[in-house]
Amino acid sequence: MRLPKDSAVITIPSQPKYLCVVREAAARMADMGGFDASAVEDIRLAVDEACSNVIKYAYGGDGGKRITVRFRNTVAGFEALIEDSGPRTDPACLKGRDLDEVRPGGLGIHFIRRTFDVVAFDERKRNGNRLRLLKYRDRGHEDRHTGT
Amino acid sequence: MRLPKDSAVITIPSQPKYLCVVREAAARMADMGGFDASAVEDIRLAVDEACSNVIKYAYGGDGGKRITVRFRNTVAGFEALIEDSGPRTDPACLKGRDLDEVRPGGLGIHFIRRTFDVVAFDERKRNGNRLRLLKYRDRGHEDRHTGT
Amino acid sequence: MKIDIQEHKGIKVFALSGEIDMSSSPVLRSELMGLVSRKVPVVFVDFKDVSYIDSSGIATFVEGLKAMMPYGGRLKLLGVPAKIMEIFNFSKLDKVFEIYGNVEDAFKG
Amino acid sequence: MKIDIQEHKGIKVFALSGEIDMSSSPVLRSELMGLVSRKVPVVFVDFKDVSYIDSSGIATFVEGLKAMMPYGGRLKLLGVPAKIMEIFNFSKLDKVFEIYGNVEDAFKG
Ligand SMILES: Nc1ncnc2c1ncn2[C@@H]1O[C@H](COP(=O)(O)OP(=O)(O)O)[C@@H](O)[C@H]1O
Ligand SMILES: Nc1ncnc2c1ncn2[C@@H]1O[C@H](COP(=O)(O)OP(=O)(O)O)[C@@H](O)[C@H]1O
């Protein structure tokens, strides 16, 4: 994938210990994009959850693969593209648990959807998956925080 | 360049506002590599200075280029490779000011050399530059903090 | 993440600090389940210095709580920072866990 | 980085917080040189909440100090965190700048 202007890209091994590098970058990019402290923390968590799920489900725990995350602030908002080389994910599988049924797990997807307005796989990606996460910017911030 | 196992890679636009993403990643990787808090801060600063110099000198302030930084913890220590696509740098140019001659500037190189044991351009790189920074690990840490 | 296991008037207190994520929660899990397997009646978890928690961290506490129920053990969370409380609220877990302001409140509660 | 310009008994205090780097030091520079161009006789810079400074930040203060010398102005740094003090020491700038513990010390000094 060509690198759009004004985007930052990170590639990490598919191991939990590297997740802190990606979520910190997500937070820094969101802060740079003009999101407030609370939204920055929401984005940090949601990006982390999406990458955790790649390790768990797309790679089945295999630590020898890679995850690439592309961050970008645009006029529309903050975008993170999360790429893996695992088998094609059926979007219908991305289902959190019923929040009234208390059991371990099933929260990650809720955290992702709570924060991001768009959560969708890029159908054009041939091998592996590219999950697109987009959080719209508040109208009032548009002029101040976009572009270079 | 092929991606070695257990390395993280970041690419940013050649603009000062993105430096925080790179230096934070450097700090996280150094922490993960078992370096103590003081060494982690030294590494954060030194990597930042090296990237600042790429923006200033290799790119002459052009914000439309890219910087790629590859981080890796090995048995030897913490390594950062800083790549740009600017004209070939003469290593002899990397000279800080005499610390007794007080004037603005000329400290970055000192901060880099103070922290890293190896500071050298990779001669094999054909286009642009690849600066290799390596900080050796204390012997005592070797067993605890390397590999996966 | 760092786990500092303390005691307050005979009660085990897990004083956690730093980030609880997919890489650190297995450590937390084994410490917590260690106490639970010995049927420790009350466990306090101090969140005061926790800067971050993800769903794997939350899952660890849900698992601990569920494992304590059969023997009537109590898991009390305290000093939960506002941003983390928001996560418990959103997940409807604020009603499932006993959550207190500080160690004294947890002791009385 | 945030710059909070305060006054302490008639003296301008730059209370800085966050990270001073190549992206924020131009802002700091223009604020500092603004005072210097008006020949303000004494400027305090409070480093207490500065979490990071790079060589471009240090250069800004060297430039400010040099610009104040011709008119006998004084630039006093205070509340410098240990890790940042180490950078001033290493750069041999601890002898060039007037460095104080807190605003009261700077006032007396
Ligand atoms: N990247 C992914 N690839 C395949 N399946 C996924 C992926 N992410 C999530 N899922 C599916 O969605 C479910 C819910 O995910 P999540 O809410 O993160 O909870 P948990 O991982 O704790 O089960 C998972 O159990 C899994 O079946
Ligand atoms: N990446 C680079 N490419 C070319 N020249 C460089 C590079 N990095 C440093 N230099 C040279 O080394 C000198 C010292 O750099 P540094 O200590 O960072 O101080 P400063 O940038 O403040 O002058 C610079 O003035 C420049 O001439």
pLDDT 10s digits, D25-42: 999 999 999 999 999 999
- For residue A143, what pLDDT is reported? 47
CB of B82 sitting under 6 A from ligand 2: no
The identity of residue D57, as a single letter, is G
Average pLDDT over residues A34-56: 98
The Cα A6–Cα B24 span in angstroms is: 18
> Residue B84 CA: which ligand 2 atom is closest?
1
User: How many percent of chain A have pLDDT more than 70?
Assistant: 93
A20 with C23: Cβ contact below 8 A = yes
H or E stretch at B136? strand B129-136
Distance between Cα A51 and ligand 1 center (Å): 11
pLDDT tens-digit profile of D45-101?
999 999 999 999 999 999 999 999 999 999 999 999 999 999 999 999 999 999 999
- For residue A5, what pLDDT is reported? 80
- For residue A35, what pLDDT is reported? 97
The Cα B77–Cα D100 span in angstroms is: 37
The identity of residue B39, as a single letter, is A
Provide the whole-model pTM: 0.95
Average pLDDT, chain A: 93
The identity of residue C84, as a single letter, is I
Is pLDDT at A27 greater than 50 in this prediction?
yes
- For residue D3, what pLDDT is reported? 98
A52 with C62: Cβ contact below 8 A = no
The Cα D17–Cα A96 span in angstroms is: 40
Is pLDDT at A2 greater than 90 in this prediction?
no
**D 15-74 near B (Cβ less than 8 A):** 19, 21-23, 52, 54-56, 58-60, 62-63, 66
- For residue A138, what pLDDT is reported? 79
Question: Are B65 and A3 spatial neighbours (Cβ–Cβ below 8 Å)?
Answer: no
Average pLDDT over residues A107-126: 97
Regions in chain B scoring below 70 on pLDDT? 139-148
Q: Which domains does chain D have, with CATH numbers?
A: 2-104 (3.30.750.24)
The identity of residue C75, as a single letter, is L
The distance in angstroms from the start CA to the end CA of chain B is 22
pLDDT tens-digit profile of C29-83?
999 999 999 999 999 999 999 999 999 999 999 999 999 999 999 999 999 999 9
Alpha-carbon dihedral sign for residues A91, A93, A95, A96: negative
Report in angstroms the alpha-carbon separations of D56 from A25, B13, C27, D63. 22, 19, 41, 10
Question: Are D46 and D17 spatial neighbours (Cβ–Cβ below 8 Å)?
Answer: no
B25 with A21: Cβ contact below 8 A = yes
Q: Which domains does chain B have, with CATH numbers?
A: 7-136 (3.30.565.10)
The Cα A71–Cα C100 span in angstroms is: 38
> In 3D, which of A85, A81, A77 has the Cα closest to residue A133?
A81
Is pLDDT at D24 greater than 90 in this prediction?
yes
Question: Are C39 and C72 spatial neighbours (Cβ–Cβ below 8 Å)?
Answer: no
